[in-house]
Amino acid sequence: MSHEPSRYRISEAAEVLGVSDDTVRRWVDQGRLTAEQVNGRSTIAGPDLAVLAESLADSPDADGRRTSSARNRLPGIVVAVKKDTVMAQVEMICGANRVVSLMSADAAEELGLVPGARAVASIKSTNVVVERG
Per-residue pLDDT tens listing for the chain (133 residues): 556 678 999 999 988 888 888 889 999 999 989 999 988 999 999 999 998 888 877 664 444 444 434 447 788 999 999 999 999 999 999 888 899 999 999 999 999 999 999 998 888 766 677 887 7
User: What angle, rounded to 10 degrees, do the helices at 10-17 and 46-57 form?
Assistant: 30
CATH of the domain at 107: 2.40.50.100
The residues, any chain, with a CB within 8 Å of residue 32's CB and separated by 6 or more, are: 52
At 15-52, the pLDDT tens digits run: 888 888 888 999 999 998 999 998 899 999 999 999 88
Of the CA atoms within 13 Å of residue 68, those in its CB half-sphere come to 1
Domain total for the chain?
1
Q: 99 is in which domain, residue-wise?
A: 1-133
- Listed residue (84, 11, 113) closest to 129, CA to CA: 113
Residue 118: beta bridge partners?
77
